[in-house]
């Protein structure tokens, strides 16, 4: 006969197997087990680690030996276990059989239903902070300036406000699409467009928009921003291509208004709201720019010449009116002569040179 001596400490438990079958638990103390070593097996485990992990756990549980020694949890396919040790969250259990020692540490296992794809709990933030949470949960965070559009297996479910959320794995294909609600700017740059009179312009436009219907923005088109960009391109081309260059340059406000109206009409179908639309730059070809500069220069020169002629005409008309008035009023002519003579006299010495006979008499009469 053979004997095997086993020592179990106060915080340990011995799992006693004989011929591969579980026979019971060995508590604190020294134990002498009879039989050859290949038939007797004792696995000593510590109660300080509450989680009992063993290849023969199902046999140990079925024996009933753990009834007063451990918390046993058998989780089905739609069950998950939230393990709390000493009042602190430890980890999440997937479906399976589990056992936790009691006595050394306080253990609580909370069984939750995972058939509801979204995981909700009063201690959600603490649970998601566990390093093991990512093994059974898909965790997502919706930023404060956005919303989350939720789909289960490709079907729309709900729209979430900012916050942190978790979904059970292997229950459904849960997907959260984050949509930014802030105003965004879309540059429609480098567009080469031909006018109705065959002049090619290079244009840059800008569209400011925001999302007003997150679900529509995600489901109507494959990328609402890209769709809005394409619509802005087509709208700008449609507006410019129907106008001659002169009509476009003289009424750019009408072009911008028509462009904005077309973009707004399409953006509403995409779940977007256009805040503002503008044509930022219009770049002409080099030769056309030179021609327009010459035309502008000629127009300005003609305008200057016209203004000069108008001024000359006005001056001559004024002189003719003055002459007519003086001819009709001799006394007024006499006063005019005196004013001129006074101005000459005040400017300096008045020197009179007398010539032919009779001129002195006329000067004396004038004075």
Summarize pLDDT for 255-289 with one digit per residue, the tens: 888 889 889 888 888 899 999 988 888 877 656 55
User: Where among 182, 215, 237 does a domain terminate?
Assistant: 182
pLDDT over 90 percentage in the chain: 44
pLDDT digit string, tens, across residues 43-69 = 999 999 999 999 999 999 999 999 989
Q: Looking at the structure, do residues 136 and 95 belong to the same domain, yes or no?
A: no
How high does pLDDT run on average in the chain?
85
Contact indicator for 165, 177 with CB cutoff of 8 Å: no
Q: How confident is the model at residue 148 (pLDDT cuts 50, 70, 90)?
A: very high
DSSP single-letter state for residue 199 = -
pLDDT of amino acid 282: 81
Whether 302 and 349 map to the same domain: the answer is no
pLDDT of residue 5: 86
Per-residue pLDDT of 167-186, as tens digits, reads 998 888 999 999 999 999 99
The whole-number pLDDT of residue 310 equals 81
Write out the two tokens for 284.
Answer: 């002409």
Helix (H) or strand (E) holding 279: strand 272-283
| Boundary-marking domain end, from 115, 134, 163 | 115
Let me know whether 161 and 194 are in one domain: no
State the pLDDT at residue 157. Answer: 94
- Lowest average pLDDT, out of 10-14, 51-55, 101-105, 193-197, goes to 193-197
pLDDT at 356 over 60: no
Residue 300 pLDDT exceeds 70: no
**Share of the chain residues as helix, strand and coil, in percent rounded to the nearest 5:** 35, 35, 30
* Alpha carbons 176 and 170: distance in angstroms, whole number: 16
Predicted pLDDT of residue 354:
52
> Is pLDDT at 302 greater than 80 in this prediction?
no
Which value, in Å, is the radius of gyration of the alpha carbons in the chain? 50
Q: Are residues 35 and 100 in the same domain?
A: no
Q: What is the mean pLDDT of residues 292-306?
A: 67
176 and 250 co-located in one domain: no
Q: How many CB atoms lie within 10 A of CB 34?
A: 11
b/e sequence 337-355, b meaning 16+ C-beta within 10 Å:
eeeeeeeeeeeeeeeeeee
Q: Which two tokens stand for residue 203?
A: 């244009």
- Shared-domain flag, residues 191 and 274: yes
Specify the pLDDT at position 43.
93
pLDDT at 92: 92
Q: Which domain holds residue 140?
A: 116-182
Confidence tier at 82 by pLDDT (50, 70, 90):
very high
My answer on whether 110 and 176 are in the same domain is no
Question: Where do runs of H (alpha helix) occur along the chain?
Answer: 57-62, 124-128, 214-219, 224-241, 245-250, 252-269, 286-328, 330-347, 359-366
pTM reported for the whole predicted model = 0.66
If asked whether residues 191 and 270 sit together in one domain, one would say: yes
pLDDT of residue 349: 61
pLDDT at 33: 85
Query: Higher-confidence residue: 80 or 192?
Result: 80
**What is the Cα–Cα distance from 215 to 157, expressed in whole angstroms?**
10
DSSP state of 118: B
In 45-123, where does DSSP find H-type helix?
57-62
Q: Are residues 209 and 269 in the same domain?
A: yes
Whether the CB-CB separation of 191 and 204 falls below 8 Å is answered with: yes
Nearest 10 degrees: Cα torsion 83, 86, 87, 90: -30
* 217/272 Cα distance (integer angstroms): 7
Residue count of the chain, please give it: 367
Tell me if 199 sits within 8 A of 245, measured CB to CB: yes
CATH of the domain at 263: 3.30.479.30
Q: Which of 95, 115, 135 is a domain's end point?
A: 115
pLDDT at 296: 61
Same structural domain, 201 and 277: yes
Same domain, 202 and 276: yes
Which pLDDT belongs to residue 181? 93
Mean pLDDT of 235-240: 88
In the prediction, which pLDDT does 118 show? 94
Count other Cβ atoms within 10 Å, centred on residue 313: 10
Phi and psi at residue 35, to the nearest 5°: 135, 165
For 317-330, the pLDDT digits (tens) are 887 777 777 777 77
Q: What is the pLDDT of residue 308?
A: 79
Q: Are 276 and 299 in the same domain? A: no
Domain count, the chain: 6
């Amino acid at each position: 006969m053979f004997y095997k001596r086993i020592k179990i400490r106060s915080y340990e438990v011995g799992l006693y197997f004989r011929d591969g079958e579980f026979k019971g638990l060995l508590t604190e103390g020294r134990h002498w087990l009879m039989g050859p070593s290949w038939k007797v097996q004792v696995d000593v485990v510590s109660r300080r680690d509450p989680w009992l992990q063993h290849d023969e756990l199902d046999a140990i549980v079925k024996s009933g030996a753990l009834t007063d020694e451990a918390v046993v949890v058998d989780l089905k396919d739609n069950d998950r276990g939230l393990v709390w040790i000493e009042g602190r969250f430890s980890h999440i259990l997937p479906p399976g059989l589990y056992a936790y020692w009691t006595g050394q540490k306080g253990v609580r296992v909370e069984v939750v239903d995972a058939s509801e794809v979204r995981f909700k709990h009063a201690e959600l933030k603490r649970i998601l902070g566990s390093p093991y949470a990512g093994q059974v949960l898909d965790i997502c965070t919706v930023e404060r300036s956005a919303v989350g559009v939720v789909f289960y297996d490709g079907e729309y479910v709900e729209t979430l406000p900012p916050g942190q959320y978790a979904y059970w794995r292997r229950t459904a294909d849960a997907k959260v699409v984050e949509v930014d609600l802030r105003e965004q700017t879309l540059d429609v740059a480098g567009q080469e467009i031909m006018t109705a009179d065959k002049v090619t312009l290079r244009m840059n436009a800008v569209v400011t928009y925001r999302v007003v219907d997150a679900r529509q923005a995600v489901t109507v088109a494959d990328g609402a921003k890209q769709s809005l960009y394409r619509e802005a391109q087509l709208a700008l081309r449609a507006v410019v291509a129907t106008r001659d260059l002169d009509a476009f340059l003289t009424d750019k406000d009408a072009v911008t208004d028509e462009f904005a109206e077309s973009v707004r009409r399409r953006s509403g179908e995409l779940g977007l709201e256009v805040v503002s639309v503008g044509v930022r730059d219009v770049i002409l070809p080099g030769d056309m720019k030179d021609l327009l500069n010459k035309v502008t220069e000629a127009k300005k020169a003609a305008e200057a010449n016209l203004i000069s002629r108008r001024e000359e005409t006005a001056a001559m008309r004024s002189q003719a009116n003055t002459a007519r008035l003086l001819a009709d009023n001799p006394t007024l002519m006499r006063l005019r002569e005196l004013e001129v003579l006074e101005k000459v006299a005040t400017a300096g010495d008045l020197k009179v040179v007398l010539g032919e006979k009779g001129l002195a008499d006329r000067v004396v009469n004038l004075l």
